[in-house]
Amino acid sequence: MKFNRRLSAFAAVTLVASLGLTACGSDSDGGGSDAGGDTGGSGGGDISVTFLPKNLGNPYFDTSDAGGKKAVEEFGGTFEEVGPDTATPDAQVPFINTAAQQGVSALVVSANDPEAICDALDEARSAGTKIVTFDSDTNPECRDLYINQATADGIAKAQIDLIADQIGDAGEIAILSASANATNQNAWIDLMEKELSANHPDIQLVDTVYGDDDDQTSFDKTAALLQAHPNLKGIISPTTVGIAAAARYLSASKYKGKVALTGLGTPNQMREYVKDGTVTAFALWNPGDLGYLAAYAAKALADGDITGAEGDSFEAGDLGTFEVDADATVLLGDPFVFDKSNIDDFDF
């Protein structure tokens, strides 16, 4: 009886082990039939574009993906939006793999890490998918084209100019950033520090804290920041989630109107705080335009109109003609400053 029980347990374990092997047989069969090409998006002349933002449920990427969708609908392609629920590179990789399996024409990605998703992107490229990065770049050799929202210099300078203007070019300021690994934010913070030491000697950057692009964390970090630095005159938050959380904290606190807040935000999130006087002005590009441009760039690559070489140019619908710069980069334009006078002209 004991023997039987062991035998049956052994049989069951063997059953599982053999499952993989049987799967192997059917897989190689399947591989053969797929080569015939039945469901693959790249089968026809139809262009399929998949947007992979850093994470889903982020209003910034909702807007950029909506812009991408608009563009894809204009040129009659197939649009998909996929993404992880947390903004980590390891969570992004399965979605890149899936795009490679589907054989989509182009994948438009905002990278959570410049290096970690590279191998997955390479595999997708060898499967014939064109890779366009937007918002956050990877290493240049891992993608075909990068759509840059604005130059890092321009963004850093715009924010420093705004805060200098609002605090009278002197006093303590702090930065509330996104995650500690965020490619963009770290580059901007570097440049902001340089800009401060070069042109604004009376402004001291006393602290940089990380809200992880999470509303509650950013809110709490703002509170902690104001407690730790009683002489703080201004906060720069170069991330849309951060600035909205910081504004929400300031608007209900005794610091409202006394501590200046600027950075990168979206009009819809900031409208209330601009109107109640918590925030005077903030900067951003139009993420909708960014996604729109990225989708047209993806199409141009997939059609073979451009290869990403310097000097290539392509049409991007309503936005006009764009040219590819060095390092296969396309620049959207200068950052835009939103304030009380113009914020109602925008809805994103």
Partner 1 sequence: MSAPTVSRPDAGLARVYPAHARPLWRRVLLTREVAMIALLVVVYEYSMNNVGNFDGPLTLYYLFLDTAPILLIALPMTLVIITGEIDLSVASVVGLSSVLVGVLHQDAGLSIPVAGAIAILVGAVCGAFNGFLVAYVGLPSLAVTIGTLALYRGIAVGILGTTAKTDFPEKWTDLAKKRIWEDHPYPTILIPFLVLLVAFALLLHFSPFGRGVFEIGLNDEAAHFTGVNVELTKLWLFVLAGAVSAFAGIYYTLRFGSARGDNATGLELQVIAAVLLGGVSIFGGRGALHGVIAGVLLIGVLASAMRLENQTVNLINIVIGVLLVLSVISTSFLSWASGLATRGRGLGPLRRRSSAADHK
Instruction: Using the minimum distance from each CB to partner 1, give the nearer residue, 215 or 325.
Output: 215
Q: Are strands 48-52 and 106-109 parallel, antiparallel or unpaired?
A: parallel
Binding-site member from 73, 119, 305, 327 for partner 1 (CB under 8 A): 119
Q: In this structure, how many other beta carbons lie within 10 angstroms of the beta carbon of residue 205?
A: 17
Q: Is 4 in the site for partner 1 (CB under 8 A)?
A: yes
Query: Which of these ranges, 10-18, 160-168, 243-251, 307-315, lies near partner 1 under the rule CB under 8 A?
Result: 10-18
- Per CB under 8 A, the segment of 88-96, 253-261, 310-318, 320-328 that binds partner 1 is 88-96
Assess 205 for contact with partner 1 (CB under 8 A). Answer: no
Residue 198 makes contact with partner 1 by CB under 8 A:
no
Q: Of the candidates 3, 85, 198, 254, which one interacts with partner 1 according to CB under 8 A?
A: 85
Tell me which of 70, 75, 97, 151 binds partner 1, using CB under 8 A. 97
Instruction: State yes or no: residue 34 binds partner 1 (CB under 8 A).
Output: yes
Q: Check residue 214 for interaction with partner 1 (CB under 8 A).
A: no
3-class DSSP state of 242: helix
Q: Pattern 44-83, binding to partner 1, x per CB under 8 A?
A: ------x-----x-----------------------x-xx
Q: Is 341 in the site for partner 1 (CB under 8 A)?
A: no
Q: Roughly how many angstroms between the first and final C-alpha of the chain, as a whole number?
A: 71
The window from 15-23, 143-151, 268-276, 338-346 that contacts partner 1 (CB under 8 A) reads 15-23
Stretch of 12-20, 194-202, 280-288, 333-341 lying at the interface with partner 1 (CB under 8 A) = 12-20
| Residue pair 297/321 in contact by the 8 Å Cβ criterion | no
For the CA atoms of 236, 239, 241, 243, the dihedral, rounded to the nearest 10 degrees, stands at 20
321 contact partners, CB below 8 Å, separation of at least 6: 313, 314, 315
Least distance between partner 1 and beta carbon 172 (Å): 22
Dig out the tokens for 51 from the structure: 């947007």
Complex with partner 1: residue 99 or 283, whichever CB lies closer: 99
Q: How far is the CB of 287 from partner 1 (least distance, A)?
A: 19
Strand 336-339 versus strand 281-284 pairing type: antiparallel
At residue 279's C-alpha, the angle toward residues 263 and 163, to 5°, is 50
Give the torsion through C-alpha atoms of 23, 25, 28, 33, to 10 deg.
-100
Number of residues forming the site for partner 1 (CB under 8 A): 58
The DSSP secondary-structure symbol of 207 reads E
Contacts to partner 1 from residues 141-160, by CB under 8 A: none
Determine if 1 is a binding residue for partner 1 (CB under 8 A). Answer: yes
Residues in the chain: 348
Q: Which of 212, 201, 211 is nearest to 235 (CA)?
A: 211
Does residue 206 sit in helix, strand or coil? strand
DSSP secondary structure letters along 131-155: EEEESS---GGG-SEEEESS-HHHH
**Residue 193 binds partner 1, judged by CB under 8 A:** no
31 binds partner 1 (CB under 8 A): yes
Angle in degrees, CA 213, 218, 223, rounded to 5: 170
Phi–psi pair at 266, nearest 5 degrees:
-105, 145
Residue 86 binds partner 1, judged by CB under 8 A: yes
Beta bridge partners of 174: 207, 235
Q: Does 344 bind partner 1 (CB under 8 A)?
A: no
Given the rule CB under 8 A, which residues bind partner 1? 1, 4-6, 8-9, 11-13, 15-17, 19-20, 23-24, 26-31, 33-34, 39-40, 50, 56, 80, 82-86, 88-91, 93-95, 97-98, 100-103, 113, 115-119, 127, 180-181, 186, 210
